[in-house]
Amino acid sequence: MIPLPRHRPFPPTDLDVAASLMAFLDFVHTTAVNKVAGLSESQARSNPIPTSPLMSPLGVIKHLTAVLRQHVQIHIGGLEVPPLWDSADHDFEWRLGIDDTIATVVTRFDEECGLTRTTLTGLDLETPIVSHGKPNRTGRLLVDVLQECARHLGHLDIVRELIDGTTGE
């Protein structure tokens, strides 16, 4: 196990929209990482929902890492970095490899979140971008990213409760 949980202050209410988006990205990042706090490697890899066999705590965090890479680095940042998706396997980023551990998956997520912060620093939310071949704006895509992260935090809540009974934020 890695040293968890991490300190997770709720974002202040006096921030402008851009700062609020960044603060909530940090908040959901920390929340996701804290969902694996106290789990064994086996528990973090377990899939307690029979109808969703890839829905493990580490699988969710791998997926969120891929979401940030795709939307922030590639679409918003325009960086030529390899996506973490596999077009031939829709569920690729959810699958755990033999080398995936709590430490390696969380470290990759931390690194991607750091890249996200760097890419978004000083960026105008109205900046036009192209995402998935369609016109968009930076701020609008960031709202999509937050929605995706929030949805999967709910999945992490359920999976964690099914694994060891832990509930709450």
* pLDDT computed for residue 113 by the predictor: 96
CB-CB contact of 63 with 91 (8 Å): no
The letter for the amino acid at 162 is L
Enumerate domains of the chain plus CATH numbers.
Answer: 21-164 (1.20.120.450)
Q: Which two tokens stand for residue 7?
A: 């300190």
* pLDDT computed for residue 84 by the predictor: 81
C-alpha pair distances (Å), 48 with each of 52, 108, 128, 159: 8, 24, 41, 6
Residue 64 CA neighbour count, 13 Å, CB half: 35
Instruction: Determine phi and psi for 7, rounding to 5 degrees.
Output: -65, 135
* pLDDT computed for residue 101 by the predictor: 95
Cα–Cα distance measured from residue 135 to residue 122, given in angstroms and rounded to the nearest whole number: 21
Residue 2 CA neighbour count, 13 Å, CB half: 15
Digit-coded pLDDT (tens) for 22-74: 999 999 999 999 999 999 999 999 999 999 988 999 999 999 999 999 999 99
C-alpha pair distances (Å), 59 with each of 15, 122, 154, 155: 32, 31, 14, 11
Digit-coded pLDDT (tens) for 77-130: 998 888 787 777 777 788 899 999 999 999 999 999 999 999 999 999 999 999
Digit-coded pLDDT (tens) for 70-82: 999 999 999 888 8
DSSP H helical ranges for the chain: 17-34, 41-45, 57-68, 102-120, 138-164
Stated pTM of the model: 0.92
